[in-house]
């Protein structure tokens, strides 16, 4: 259905500006026509990985895959060789669209040009079926030690976009400046189909979201909305641009990690920028939106049900929920209760209509909005030569940023630098422990489990 939805909005909004980056811009009819031209290269039913930096051409590629009746798999471009290998294999991808060389792979065929990108075919067996309703797949750093592939129905993707548009008042005159990668839920759900349903325009920025660059892009695009992770707003707070800078910004969205109170207050009081924090998770899509009327992370969006379950855990059900993990059978289903509510791993409740999060049960780490499974990082460390065991955890740096820390047991002569290099060769850079401490043996309790307090003391870091 997503292809029909896109085709319909492209007809309806014709000559309006649909998507732009620094190099080019396309109207809705041009977007449809460019996607139509590329779709011929994609066989119906193919599984197509999209692994590239945000650009107009990436949006065209996404639309082309849908137009071909194929299934796009949106892959974070930061993924390292071991993660890509697992994604291609466990999802049996037929094709990958990419903008940088991919690691050598015996399953890969001959690459060819695909617009400004490269298209590489893969031949992977065996191949588990996708659900008949699945139209888009995205990934999450799960709890199984590997990236988990979430299958989404067309209805779920459409509902996420339509409910975001409705719940946040996104309109045809909006110009959305997006700094988050389109493979991430923050951008995918708020700044792709949602923008097109509204007949608005999407402006894709690349590079790190440093305040100076963001301010210039706001002015260059006359943006009315800003989409970014908390780091973007922290940077703005550090530079404190004058209030006039944000005069046209109606909605600034932050998600992925907690926006600090200091940043939110400073931007509101000194820059006149009200940042709306929202709560969303990869498996369910956006769940709340803070308009200023409600406290905390805001009120539930249309189509969202929130409740507090056993032990204070937040349970959610949404019209934009994924169907299952394609490459981890049963794991998603096990997180649903009898009423189909998803266990988020977050502790939270509604307070005067707004969601308040109070803690986390899940072991997944969050650094600036990027989710890191410590089990995956530990597995990679333990596979490196000379490593006997490792503990991986999160900690706060003195300046407030979060980081991943590893304490590694080794009786061989390995150095922290070698271990970090080994991780860089296998993992996305954001998953690589920023501090690695090598010890001969890990401190253990009476049943032989590493004691986290003692391990933290070795690393000399405070609680995450």
Partner 1 sequence: MLTTSALRDRLAQLISEASDGTVTVQEVLAHENELSALGIPSLSQLRAIDAIENEFGVALDLEAEDTSYLDSIKGLTGYLAEQGLSLDG
Per CB under 8 A, residues contacting partner 1 are: 22, 205-213, 216-217, 231, 234-235, 238-239, 367-368, 397-399, 401-403, 420, 424, 429-430, 432, 434-435
Q: Which is nearer to partner 1, 45 or 212 (CB)?
A: 212
> Over the Cα atoms of the chain, what is R_g?
22
Distance CA 67, CA 35 (A): 7
**Positive/negative CA dihedral, 48, 54, 57, 62:** positive
Q: Which is nearer to partner 1, 128 or 429 (CB)?
A: 429
Q: Which is nearer to partner 1, 172 or 207 (CB)?
A: 207
Q: How far is the CB of 424 from partner 1 (least distance, A)?
A: 6
Q: How far is the CB of 120 from partner 1 (least distance, A)?
A: 24
**Spatial contact of 278 and 185, defined as CB atoms under 8 Å apart:** no
Number of H helices, E strands in the chain: 13, 28
Q: Which is nearer to partner 1, 127 or 216 (CB)?
A: 216
Q: How far is the CB of 368 from partner 1 (least distance, A)?
A: 5
**Structure token digits, residue 436:** 């690695």
Q: What is the DSSP letter of 26?
A: E
Q: How far is the CB of 23 from partner 1 (least distance, A)?
A: 9
Q: Which is nearer to partner 1, 239 or 363 (CB)?
A: 239
Q: How far is the CB of 57 from partner 1 (least distance, A)?
A: 15
Dihedral pair phi/psi, residue 220, rounded to 5°:
-65, -30
Distance CA 193, CA 190 (A): 8
Residue 390's nearest CA partner among 402, 403, 401, 381 is 381
Residue with token string 């692994």: 51
Residue 87's nearest CA partner among 100, 101, 99, 103 is 103
**Structure token digits, residue 423:** 């991780």
Residue with token string 């939106």: 289
Sheet holding 147-153, edge to edge: 112-114, 117-121, 95-98, 47-51, 71-74, 134-141, 147-153, 324-325
Q: How far is the CB of 370 from partner 1 (least distance, A)?
A: 9
**Spatial contact of 118 and 125, defined as CB atoms under 8 Å apart:** no
Q: How far is the CB of 180 from partner 1 (least distance, A)?
A: 13
Neighbours of 109 (CB within 10 A): 12
Q: How far is the CB of 430 from partner 1 (least distance, A)?
A: 7
Q: Which is nearer to partner 1, 41 or 235 (CB)?
A: 235
Q: Which is nearer to partner 1, 91 or 395 (CB)?
A: 395
Q: How far is the CB of 216 from partner 1 (least distance, A)?
A: 7
Q: Which is nearer to partner 1, 444 or 464 (CB)?
A: 464
**Spatial contact of 282 and 257, defined as CB atoms under 8 Å apart:** no
Distance CA 396, CA 382 (A): 24
Distance CA 345, CA 147 (A): 17
Neighbours of 88 (CB within 10 A): 25
Q: Which is nearer to partner 1, 38 or 275 (CB)?
A: 275
Distance CA 165, CA 188 (A): 13
Q: How far is the CB of 205 from partner 1 (least distance, A)?
A: 7
Q: Which is nearer to partner 1, 149 or 423 (CB)?
A: 423
Q: Which is nearer to partner 1, 307 or 420 (CB)?
A: 420
Mark residue 303 as left, alpha or beta (left: phi above 0; alpha: psi -120 to 50; beta: remaining).
Answer: left
Q: How far is the CB of 209 from partner 1 (least distance, A)?
A: 7
Contacts of 53 (CB under 8 A, 6+ apart): 77, 99, 181, 206
Nearest 10 degrees: CA dihedral of 438, 444, 450, 456? -60
Q: How far is the CB of 94 from partner 1 (least distance, A)?
A: 31
Q: Which is nearer to partner 1, 22 or 349 (CB)?
A: 22
């Amino acid at each position: 259905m997503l292809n029909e939805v896109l085709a319909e909005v492209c007809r309806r909004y014709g000559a309006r500006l649909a998507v732009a980056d620094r190099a080019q811009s396309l109207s809705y009819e041009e977007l449809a026509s460019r996607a139509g031209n590329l779709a011929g290269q994609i066989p119906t039913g193919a599984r197509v990985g999209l692994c590239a930096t945000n650009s107009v051409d990436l949006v065209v590629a996404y639309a082309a895959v849908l137009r071909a009746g194929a299934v796009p798999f949106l892959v974070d471009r930061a993924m390292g060789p071991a993660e890509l290998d697992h994604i291609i294999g466990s999802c049996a991808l037929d094709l990958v669209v990419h903008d940088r060389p991919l690691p050598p792979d015996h399953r890969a065929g001959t690459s060819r040009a695909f617009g400004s990108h490269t298209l590489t075919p893969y031949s992977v067996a065996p191949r588990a079926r996708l659900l008949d309703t699945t139209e888009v797949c995205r990934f999450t750093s799960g709890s199984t030690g590997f990236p988990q592939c979430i299958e989404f129905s067309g209805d779920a993707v459409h509902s996420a976009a339509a409910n975001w548009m409705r719940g946040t008042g996104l309109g045809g005159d909006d110009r959305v400046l997006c700094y988050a990668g389109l493979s991430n839920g923050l951008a995918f759900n708020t700044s792709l189909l949602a923008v097109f349903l509204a007949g608005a325009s999407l402006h894709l920025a690349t590079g790190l979201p440093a305040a100076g660059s963001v301010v210039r892009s706001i002015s260059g695009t006359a943006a009315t909305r800003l989409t970014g992770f908390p780091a973007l707003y922290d940077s703005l707070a550090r530079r404190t641009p004058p209030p006039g800078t944000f005069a046209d910004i109606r909605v600034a969205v932050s998600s992925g990690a907690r926006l600090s109170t200091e940043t939110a207050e400073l931007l509101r009081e000194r820059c006149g920028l009200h940042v709306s924090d929202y709560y969303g998770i990869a498996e369910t899509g956006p769940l709340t939106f803070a308009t200023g009327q409600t406290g905390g992370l805001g009120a539930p969006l249309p189509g969202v049900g929130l409740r507090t379950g056993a032990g204070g855990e937040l349970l959610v059900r949404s019209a934009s929920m994924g169907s299952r993990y394609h490459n981890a059978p049963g794991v998603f289903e096990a997180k649903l209760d009898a009423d189909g509510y998803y266990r988020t791993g977050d502790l939270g409740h509604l307070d005067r209509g707004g969601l308040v999060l109070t803690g986390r049960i899940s072991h997944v780490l969050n650094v600036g909005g990027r989710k890191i499974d410590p089990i995956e990082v530990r597995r990679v460390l333990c596979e490196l030569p000379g490593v006997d065991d490792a503990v991986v955890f999160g900690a706060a740096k003195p300046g407030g940023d979060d980081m991943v820390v590893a304490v590694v047991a080794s009786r061989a002569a390995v150095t922290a630098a070698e271990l970090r290099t080994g991780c860089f060769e296998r993992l996305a850079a954001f998953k690589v422990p920023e501090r690695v401490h090598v010890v001969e043996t890990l401190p253990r309790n009476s049943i032989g489990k590493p004691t986290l307090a003692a391990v933290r003391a070795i690393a000399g870091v405070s609680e995450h």
